[in-house]
Structure 1
Amino acid sequence: MAHPVTQALTGGGERGGGQTGTPLRIVIVEDNPDDAELLAYELSRAGFAPDWRRVESLPEYVEALQSGPDVVLADYSLPQFGALDALAEAQAVSDVPVIVVSGVMDEATCVECLRRGATDYLLKDRLTRLGPAVERALAQRELRRVTSRAEQVARESEQRFRAAFDRAPIGMAVSTSDERILDANPALMHLLRRPAEQLRGEPFDQFVHPEDRSALAAHTKELRCGRAGAATLELRLLDATAEPVWVLYSAALIAGVPEPGSVEGCTGQLIRQVQDITERRRAEQDRRQSMLILQGMIDNAPSALYLRAPDGRFLIVNSAFEKLSGVHRAEVVAEHGERLLPEALAAELSARDWRCQASRQVMADEETLNDSTYLSIRYPLIDQSGVPWAVGAIYTDITDQKRIQGELAQAKDELERANRELSELDRMKSELVATVSHELRTPLTSIRGYTELLIDNGDAMSPTERRMIEIIDRNGQRLLALVEDLLTFSRMDDGSFQVSADKVDLGRLVESVCAGVVPTLPAGLSLTMRIEPDLERITGDPAQLERAVLNLVSNAVKFSPDGGRISVDARRTGERIEVVVADTGIGMAPEEQTKLFQRFYRTATAQTRQIQGTGLGLALVKGIVERHGGTVRLTSAPAAGTTVTIDLPLTGPTAAPPDGSAP
């Protein structure tokens, strides 16, 4: 039969609910149904509306815990399991508070239950405390839930802060109220080139440039005391190498309370942020330097320069333009030229500027301003959209250049007239030389012919008469040779000089020349000859080649003193044959060697020693050799002799120069 209290509460049965009051889901661990109903009745009296379930075995209890009860009321001792088992299972499954209810109570049991996690311990004969005990248990449970949630939120917040702190691209540090670094992120360690252990515990300003520490201290004081100050600072940090690093610095107060007895000082941690702006500072410095350089170039440019907007306002002018216009730059910049410049000058500049802007092309003109001539260069400045936003102009004073240009033009005309006169004189000279040489050749040939007849039939002459005839013959021969040279040069000049293309044995030619010279050698002068055997014949004019070799050998004899040595070599080098004439004579200075192949040139030594000669020999050699496609080289030194090398190709002579000019 149901207990009368149970009937009053539930209408019979071991589950109850539906009463008016605070809803409460409970599990009652009790083997006595009446005691369970009594517990439910007490909760109803305490203002709860219990929805309860009685269990008396461990499986039932575990199943009941799955429904998430608000409170567990457990008898301390049951036949199968008791309150301590219920405590252990509740702690393993959920955070439901457990209140131990027992018929008897001793201090040791109570302490053990509370130590095991029970919320409270009640005697069955004092159930008036059940309602307050449940309220406390629910309050404690809610407090645990709120605390757990707060701790979880705090952990999540700490994790988010740590992630943001560690991964931040800018340097960050947390410092204590005494300004010592509590933590530093990897970006700051990289910026300062120091590991974390070298930063933690150190004053932050230790890593700040000494010149910037006062500004940092003032900024920190304003921040800690809540007074408005600069949001950011630009200061220098010092890395491990003491190299300054420019940073943009900011800080925020994490938490703080006024220090006792101080109205200005505040405590609390600071989070400091530093962003590396070294490159930006360097770029700004470079930009300022570039601007200074550009401004210096503009201001000190010798040419007048200005930059003008499409509406006529002057944007930039330099000092040279001030002198040109007669207006100070402070009066011109940002003003329209028509308001300040002389009317004529303003109109001229504006007209040209507008044409340049309209054409969008560089314009160059010569302008006369203030009685001076200027070369003006105008150029449009066009933005990315293709619209001109300014016109630049550079005025360069070319008055002196124009004057010099006129003088040069006049001098050029005079020079051309003189050249024409000289060319005419040279032509007349060449004609005279050719005519005179030709006219001299005939009587000289006749004179030589008669002197030869006299010498051949001179048996009746005395030795003195014979010697005089021989002198006449030698001088006639010299004069005839000179005439022949002059005629040769004349033919070279007018293009009529030609060389034959015969096969020439150059070795025999050299032998013949040397054989003719040896008998005439002065006493004490020796001549040696080295001719390479089986020299290949070349194509050329034997008479002219003999003339060239003879001139070289005669020069060597003429400029070699007694005791001197002359050598003549002929050898093949590749597809060419060289004839080398060397002597140990007086030689010549280097500055004279470049002029030796000019006509009529004689060295200073030859003139001083009065050595006979016309200065035509080497010029003639050069002309003959070049007509054969060869070259002439000369090396010499004072008192060390002279070496002349003729280099001739095997292939033969070349055609005369097409213009008929002399070699």
Structure 2
Amino acid sequence: MRREDGGSGAGRSGRARAADAAGLARPADLYGGTAVDEHPNSPTAAIDPHRVINTSRPGGGPAVPRDVLGGSSNLHRGILTSGTADQLAALTARGAQTPSACIQFVEGEKLRLYGSWGVAADWDAIADTALDSSLGGLVVSGGGAVIVDDATVDERVPPGVVRKHGGAYLGYPVHDRLGRVLGVCCAYDLRPREWTPEQMSAVAEAAEVATLLIGEQLARHELEQQHRFLDAVLESLHDGVTACDADGHVVFANERMRRLWADDPAGAEEPGLFRALGGERLRDEPVVRPGRTKRTRHYLMDAQPILGPEGQVVGAVQALQDVTRQRRAERFRSCELAVTTALAETPSIEAAGPRVLEAVVATLDWVHAELWMVDAAAGTIRAAARWSTPGWATGIPVPDALAHGQGLAGRAWQVDKPLWIRDVGRPQSLISPDTTQERLHTALAIPVHDGTGTIGVLTVFADAVEDPEDELVALMSGIAAHLGQFVERRRVEDLQRQLVRSKNEYLALIGHELRTPLTSISAYTELLREADEATLVRDGPRLIAVVERNALQLREIINELLELSALDAGHADVRRTPMDLAAVVRDVVDRTRQAIGGAPVVIDTDLPGELIVPGDRDRLRQIVENLLGSAVRYSPDGGHVEVSLRRAGRAAELAVSDAAADVPRDEREQLFTGGYRTSRGHDRTLPGSGLGLTLSRAVVERHHGSIELTGDGDGTTILVRLPLDVR
């Protein structure tokens, strides 16, 4: 508490000296204390009004509860500071024409001195007095005025506190707005006196002034508490809240609102506040606005006018709930449904790709997407599908294939994990300069897996720079998982169909390819058994040669079937070591030329000097022999057979073409299945079991390569791709 005198400007020690000069005793004795130059037994000491028994005057207002009394000190100190309380005490003393006056407030079970006039300089030692042993306590407990003219004759004052010359006391309660007693405003004299009505009115009015000041302080304090409470509540909300005055000027925006509107509360005036000022009440009004980036954000808005006591509009309040995550979750579910529907309604990943990418682009609100599938044989990843938002810049360059580790898709394939590029325009962003010129910025690549490993990559592009978001990565990973499951499911279905077809073809093979030589062997054996000696001498060697030839053919078919079964089951031994494929092809071509002799078939070659691949030399030789032998057999009337070998990326490509044999397109898918022979092969009654290409396919697949039939109707080309690296 401050020590200066709020009324006269003189310090307490100065007032004490003034009181001594006027012949007045300092009132420390009235509080049971000791003045600097006096002793408690001094003849000038009269009465200690704060050391009496707890008696009460009949009547009076209600006493304040202890919980209210104990918690009010900060309020008193806030409005009745030492200067203000001292001024009020000085006015009280002058109005009551007494040498001393004081302002006291209840704190717990004590009365604390807050302001005084004419109190000794050492008043801190007696600043607190007990409620049950002071005249002020009588005022508090009785709730009304306590008037003592002469303490020596007042029956309410216990004899034990009455001193030689007596004394006078005049105290009035200070109330709060509910009528509860908070403190005491009192005046006193060391000598007995009769209080006049004017003096009593002066003290009563001073107590009323203190009551008004305390009431104002309590109201202000409660208002400030409400403001702080409301501010804390509004700042802690997840919703953005804005309020404006009657002129539409924003007077409040909480932290959430400032973040929602990019720290520009003026932007929050629209659309809700002005509509609310016009009298509208909005509830769950959808609002779509761009966020800090170009990304669209979704809100639900509530707004209503603020009405004054007369019903007039004095302002408006608006609340915005950010529901972007909920809307995005709804779109994500719709996207997954669209993806699963597209995959269920299409036979292949290439056919489903555009529909899947369209759903992804629409859901993410991005502009471009691509689906890449791994070509293991070629060691590349090929573009299987692409999709751009309608109206977007046309002609986004997409290469047909990327090498392992090349570009965004190739790098995602290489690292086998999601890649988020915040801005593809930055140097070394894995994106070609041609692509970055199309105003693309953020890119995301997600690997596609099946049960064996990475089989593809899904890439999407945005036209704005965006930071990584786990939700988007999770969505794309889920879609990639759907794609991987689709490919794996289709592969299983294809294998099941192939199994059924192979079963039928093997039965047909047994019924035709095996039965034919067996029939010949049986027939010629019967002829040999029934022939006479002359016939055996004459025709025996020829008949035995026929039996031998058919037996060899039967053995060849059985060996091929056993070999094919071992390869398909993974039991056949395939040893992959570095070998020169060009040398193997060159040797097979030379031997075939010698074998066909003068046949009108020309074999042309385009071979490199050397091409090293990891492979099984004997089995790769078997592939070349099968392909070249098939081409020669299907060209009995002459023609050209071309054999080429080249390096293509990370793969070796072997192509065997003939111009004479034209395989119908509807038979090309079945050409590599067990025992299948084309219709032209059956028509020409060409030699062969029909297992050569099937065996070739099995050997190629054990080398992690691929084999396919190409051509435009003017002949047939069988293309084999073998990887150049060990896998």
> TM-score, length-normalised on structure 1?
0.28
Higher gyration radius (CA): 1
The answer to which structure has the higher helix fraction is 1
